[in-house]
């Protein structure tokens, strides 16, 4: 089945772009909010949730802007997930833009999962 691309924007008032960048681009930062643990070998990231591991490949990085990962099961596809920092023009405050792909009928569940993860990011980083 074909997945559908979607984007979610989270406004993160009072957040520092440097703190956000470290949270989305480093293994330690990702382990604080995205998963229970992260190990990295070259561009291969293994994310751990309780006793479950999932591997993703870092396929793009632009310093202080975005990181893009592709799950190992999506390697031969155009599917990925991206974490992008955007500074809002009107307020000057940062936002985090999530781009992901969902199977039919799973988009709402993935949005709920991202909402939960972003709440954890806010809590851990004091935003």
Q: What are the tens digits of pLDDT across the range 90-101?
A: 888 899 999 999
* Nearest Cα to Cα of residue 18 among 76, 87, 69: 87
- What are the boundaries of each domain within the chain? 4-26+59-125
Long-range CB contacts (within 8 A, 24+) of 108-115: 110/6, 111/6, 111/8, 114/8, 115/8
CATH architecture of 4-26+59-125: 2-Layer Sandwich (3.30)
> Given this model, what pLDDT does residue 14 score?
79
User: pTM, whole model, 2 decimals?
Assistant: 0.92
| Residue 127 clears pLDDT 80, i.e. is over it | no
- At 42-64, the pLDDT tens digits run 999 999 999 899 999 999 999 99
**Tally: H helices and E strands in the chain:** 3, 7
């Amino acid at each position: 089945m074909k997945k559908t691309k979607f984007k979610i924007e989270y406004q993160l008032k009072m957040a520092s772009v440097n703190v956000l960048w470290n949270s989305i681009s480093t293994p330690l930062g990702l382990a604080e909010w995205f998963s229970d643990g992260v190990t990295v070998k070259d561009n291969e990231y293994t994310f751990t949730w309780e006793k479950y591991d999932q591997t993703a490949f870092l396929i793009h990085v632009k310093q202080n802007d975005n990181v893009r990962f592709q799950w190992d099961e999506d390697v031969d596809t155009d599917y990925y997930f991206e974490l992008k920092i955007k500074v809002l023009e009107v307020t000057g405050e940062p936002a985090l833009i999530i781009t992901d792909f969902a199977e039919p009928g799973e988009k709402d569940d993935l949005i709920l999962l991202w909402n939960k993860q972003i709440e954890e990011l806010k809590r851990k980083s004091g935003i």
